[in-house]
Structure 1
Amino acid sequence: MFGVSLEIWFVYGLIVLAVFLFVNKRISFDITSLILLAILVVSGILTPREGLSGFSNPATVTIACMFILSEGLRQTGALDIVGDYFFKLSKLNYRLAMFIIMLVIGVISAFINNTAAVAIFIPVLISLSRDLGESASKLLMPMSFAAMFGGVCTLIGTSTNLLVDSIATDNNLAGFTMFEFAPVGLIFFVVGFIYLFTFGINLIPERRKDESLTDTFEMQSYLTDVILQPHSPFVDTPLKNTKLIQDLDLDIVEVFDEDGESKPDRMNIELEANDILRIRGSVKELNKLLNREDVFIKPSKHWEDRDFEIGNAQLVESVVAPESSIEGKQLKDLQLWQKYEALVLAIRQQGELQKDNLQDIRLQSGTSILLYAKKERVNDIKTAEEFVLATEIELPEHESSKITVALGIIAGVVGFAALGILPIVATAICGVILMVLTGCLTNEEAYQSINWKVIFLLGGVLPLGIAMQKTGAAQLMVDVVITQFASLGPTAVLSAFFFMSMMLTNLISNQATAALLAPIAIEAASSIDVNAAPLLVAVTMAASLSFMTPIGYQTNTMIFGPGQYKFTDFVKVGTPLNLLFWIIGTFAIPYFWPF
């Protein structure tokens, strides 16, 4: 132990720091990755060329391209049409709906970015659950899990598969082919289906009831109509110039005349006697208003969604996207009214409804936001990278020819790579070029579709793997693992790597997990003189199958708010499934990839 070099201790310290920062999340994980990269280069452990190799890595380039290709399918409307078609097909009963949705999302996720597919289906499933009279939470979790099942079936189904494939080739090992993961992936798919349909379905809670948005967000407790008295000093004064709600945590949602007709451009119109102001705020803040101004509250009523379908406005639920640039920011910093003419009415964060001091709330991935917005601006919110829309909206018109082109491009990318004609990075780049040249995407849409946080994460953590191998830190870790498990045979070593990857990915990102463990798995295979492929498959499979927490995988984070889940819901449903996959993976992987 005392003979271990300072460089190795230094790298171990960086690994501990990385895991701490990834779990703590006080610093964005992409910034954490860049910090690691800078330390490795400045300390001299890596050369600048080695330090920057993560950005030129084929996996990083391919993953960036897959973001663009998935966006091409979304922009052309291909995913919308699929969602709409299966929505109609699934309206017969709950179990049929669950089966169809899991099958469809699983197949789609095998070939495109699964977060794009899940984003399309979230509003579809919430609407479908109302038609079926079921809780949306009973459909959203199976959908998220199915997206993970599908993702592990192909090389491009998840970024960790591409990442581990690249790490293998960088170490002069054979890479993986397009459908090489399919045998084990399909076993997980089938077992996952059976588990959710038999045992898991009884564990999934009925959190989100068959309710309107007004009920879901309990609007009765913070929304009311007040009437402006004839002798009020604010009569004949533009609303924006009054001190009606100054220094109060209140928002004017709408202004109506005494006949109940909505007044457009509410902030600039002159208030009149008996005008009705629809106000969002707590009882405490409303009482302050009543005590100081000439207004009185109308008799309370039960709010319904149609009460907010005023003119061209509507209620929509939006979710903070995983790894969004607005994560950690206060609501007031987003300027949603200036950007989208959208007013925030309530927030649901970590399962708790927030209705007071909204502007000071720091947003987290998976947070649900209730917005009141103009219909023509809702699609802008839907296409914004910061949000995932959880309310179904009328689909814009799409050119059917563009849909065919986009699907053809995806088929070409997959087909040429599967046949071994070109490597996946080459077909993906060609696919991106064709998406833009054929008009399926604009240049701007292509750049905006890339999740740059993921790209910088990869750019930073891949060099950490190089440093582990270069300094001998990976080999020392291997010696510890081998000491504990080698006497039990290579299957026990594989099982240990599967378990480590499975647990770590529930705490940090799946990409970071794969980048940290894959180099160690390669060294372990060399030490016990076995084929490295089964150990690498164990690492990538386990890293992509994170069911135990809402933060372990992006799709879980996306459904956390809309499904009104609690953290423990994922623990109860996901833990047995993860343990089941661990046992199956331990024996199935060596069968298809012999040692």
Structure 2
Amino acid sequence: MTPDMLLTFLVLAGAVALFVSEKMPPEVVAMLTLAALLTLRLVSTEEALSGFSSPATVTVAAMFVLSAGLQHSGSLNRLGEAIARIRWGWLLALVMMLLTAAVSAFINNTAAVAVFLPLIIAAAVANNLPPSKFLIPLSYAAQFGGVCTLIGTSTNLLVDSMARQAGHEGFTIFEFSRLGLVFVVAGTLYLMFARRFLLPDLGVPQRADSGHAGRYVVELLVPDRSGAIGKRGAELLPHDIGDVVLLEIIRARSVLPSPRGTDIEAGDRLLVRGSWPDIEAARRKLRLAHDNVATDLEDDVEDGRVYAEAMVAPGSHLVGLSLADVRFAHVYRARVQGLHRHRLSIRQPLDQVPLAVGDVLLLDAPESALDLMRADPGLVVMGEREQTRTSIRRSLLALGILTAVVAVAGAGLMSIVAAAIIGCCMLLLLRVLKPEEAYAAIDWRVVLLLAGVLPLGIALQNSGAAALIADVSIGLVGGLGPVATLAVIYVMTSLLTEIMSNNASAALVVPIAIATAESLGLDSKPFLVAVAFSASTSFATPISYQTNTMVYAAGGYRFRDFVKVGLPLNLIFIVLAIVLIPRHFPFHA
């Protein structure tokens, strides 16, 4: 083993450890990895910066803008409204999955789920159906629809770009389609069965509710005449109140060390956790109050105040910032009454909690403020709502431009990156999007992640580390034939994707897949397809894919629900991939 090989393995091990630990955002880990590769001179400056100029990185950024064109014009809302009119549960689920898969083949998966999510919840509630029977299928359909085209997911583009950088033939825009359609049919049929027998029935929320089934952390103020004054924390909550737990007592902005043994005083803030109706019952009984931050919001009474829920979307500018940091109440003219997070380890004032993807904020807001939040791509307003007015002109232009981009690239008249850039320019020139909307549409976290992990693949190839891993793998399973080796590549990528970013796992495995194909004297395409499909379809955990995280919070699911429903689907796709990939992409060119 050469020194470069050893250093590359050390950088690789550190990157994987940081990706899996989630102590830092994936894009930060990618940039740290890039810095380490430069510092250790494992890649040249040109190679280190090649990720920023990579066709995959530029195309992904452009596709975010093209997706925003459809989203801002209201085209996707119209599709969602059409789905929402269906009254039969089985037909609603079937049409929802097929339409989501079709849309996700050409636009960003997260954007599609963000638009359809509140509409599906509203349709389910309106028809007295549990939303929990629909939201996991919505996420999964976006994923297996995304593998149908080269532009369906950023992972497909990443695999294509890495293959071309290594001197191998890339993929055309529809080269994945025949195999992808088989996955769509198989996934849809399985989910039609799973939604009936495996998905949990978490009930139908009342119309007065926003449709969310989770538990909130809420901060309550103890006013001067509260019945809580003088009581110890352990005996505060009445026995006839349901599922409400006192987490912390906050006094003078400091968390007291022993809340159960502390006497409560006027001016204290109580951090409690439970279902919203039970928390409200306890609040009224003990004469507690919500903190009326931003008192100028009282001027909005003529607009009428409503309770609503908004979820922090993937790529949101709010991620990592607290409510106080962004002055949420003043910017959005809405008060946050509670915070829902599956990992409810919140032990600090709510306005100091760094927000994360999938957090659901319970809001007390004037109706006009909801329009402001719906226009913000960083928030997904949940529950039944008026839809953004659709502009026929903008919708037709956005759809026409996207169709032209796909057609020109599909016919081979222009590269996908060139067609996508021209498409973005046309959206701006024809005023389908404003420049600021285009900038906001790009998820720069994904761009930085791609730019940072691409040089790691280069280092794995240049140092010979990828070839060494491939030789070891071939030594273990190579004697069983190329199909067994393909299975190992697919399963390896799938396991990595369940615990870390799908793009990061693809960037790690692509060099190994290429080196394996070269060592066996086989065409690299079937192995690259295995990496692309495996990294783009991650079902077994709620944290393995951004759309899973979105429906995890919105549907009130438990972690085990994804394992129960997603693991069999992963196994089905593994079998399909092993059987069908060699038929569509032969080992010998």
Corresponding residue of 1:481: 473
Corresponding residue of 1:122: 117
Query: C-alpha separation between the residues in 1 aligned to 2:41 and 2:223?
Result: 70
Shift of 1:288: 8.2
State yes or no: 1:83 paired with 2:75: no
State yes or no: 1:316 paired with 2:316: no
Shift of 1:217: 6.5
Corresponding residue of 2:360: 368
Q: 1:321-336 to 2 correspondence within 5 Å?
A: 321-336=313-328
Corresponding residue of 2:522: 530
Select the structure of larger CA radius of gyration: 1
Shift of 1:504: 0.7
Say what the alpha-carbon RMSD is for the aligned residues: 2.8
State yes or no: 1:456 paired with 2:476: no
Q: Contact 2:221–2:269 at 8 Å: present in 1 too?
A: no
Shift of 1:357: 4.1
State yes or no: 1:57 paired with 2:54: yes
Corresponding residue of 2:22: 25
Q: Contact 1:281–1:355 at 8 Å: present in 2 too?
A: no
Corresponding residue of 1:9: 6
State yes or no: 1:587 paired with 2:587: no
Corresponding residue of 1:71: 68
Match of 1:508 among 486, 500, 507: 500
After TM superposition, the structure 1 stretch with the greater mean CA deviation from structure 2, 220-229 or 117-126, is 220-229
Corresponding residue of 1:389: 381
Q: Contact 1:347–1:354 at 8 Å: present in 2 too?
A: no
Query: C-alpha separation between the residues in 2 aligned to 1:578 and 1:350?
Result: 24
Query: C-alpha separation between the residues in 2 aligned to 1:221 and 1:425?
Result: 45
Shift of 1:324: 3.3
Per-residue CA distance 1:90-114 (angstroms, 9 max, x = gap): 2x21001000100110100011001
Match of 1:469 among 457, 461, 476: 461
TM-score, scaled relative to structure 1: 0.84
Query: C-alpha separation between the residues in 2 aligned to 1:38 and 1:215?
Result: 45
Q: Contact 2:63–2:108 at 8 Å: present in 1 too?
A: yes
Match of 2:209 among 194, 206, 213: 213
Corresponding residue of 2:242: none
Q: Classify the secondary structure of the residue corresponding to 1:561.
A: helix
Corresponding residue of 1:203: 198
Query: C-alpha separation between the residues in 2 aligned to 1:246 and 1:493?
Result: 68
**Equivalent residue letter for 1:405:** L
Shift of 1:312: 3.1
**Equivalent residue letter for 1:191:** A
Per-residue CA distance 1:525-578 (angstroms, 9 max, x = gap): 000000100000000000000000111111111111110011111011000110
Query: C-alpha separation between the residues in 2 aligned to 1:539 and 1:221?
Result: 40
Match of 2:133 among 125, 132, 138: 138
Q: Contact 2:450–2:503 at 8 Å: present in 1 too?
A: yes
**Equivalent residue letter for 2:16:** V
Query: C-alpha separation between the residues in 1 aligned to 2:74 and 2:501?
Result: 30
Q: Percent identity?
A: 39
Q: Classify the secondary structure of the residue corresponding to 1:406.
A: helix
Q: Contact 1:160–1:514 at 8 Å: present in 2 too?
A: yes
Query: C-alpha separation between the residues in 1 aligned to 2:213 and 2:528?
Result: 45
Q: Classify the secondary structure of the residue corresponding to 1:346.
A: strand
Q: Classify the secondary structure of the residue corresponding to 1:177.
A: coil
Shift of 1:82: 1.1
Q: Contact 1:249–1:285 at 8 Å: present in 2 too?
A: no
Q: 1:229-268 to 2 correspondence within 5 Å?
A: 247-249=267-269
Unaligned runs of 5+ in 1: 230-244, 252-279, 291-307
Q: Contact 1:129–1:210 at 8 Å: present in 2 too?
A: no
Shift of 1:354: 7.6
Query: C-alpha separation between the residues in 2 aligned to 1:351 and 1:127?
Result: 26
Query: C-alpha separation between the residues in 1 aligned to 2:506 and 2:173?
Result: 18
Corresponding residue of 1:175: 170
Corresponding residue of 1:572: 564
Per-residue CA distance 1:364-421 (angstroms, 9 max, x = gap): 2212111122222212212323322223321233321111111000000100011111
**Equivalent residue letter for 1:43:** L
Shift of 1:333: 2.8
Q: Classify the secondary structure of the residue corresponding to 2:309.
A: strand
Instruction: Describe the shift of the 1:436–1:495 C-alpha distance in structure 2 as closer, same or farther (beyond 3 A).
Output: same
State yes or no: 1:345 paired with 2:337: yes
Per-residue CA distance 1:220-251 (angstroms, 9 max, x = gap): 9979999999xxxxxxxxxxxxxxx9843389
- Between Structure 1 and Structure 2, how many residues are aligned? 530
Q: Classify the secondary structure of the residue corresponding to 1:440.
A: coil
Shift of 1:283: 4.6
Query: C-alpha separation between the residues in 1 aligned to 2:185 and 2:59?
Result: 28
TM-score, scaled relative to structure 2: 0.85
Query: C-alpha separation between the residues in 1 aligned to 2:27 and 2:220?
Result: 43
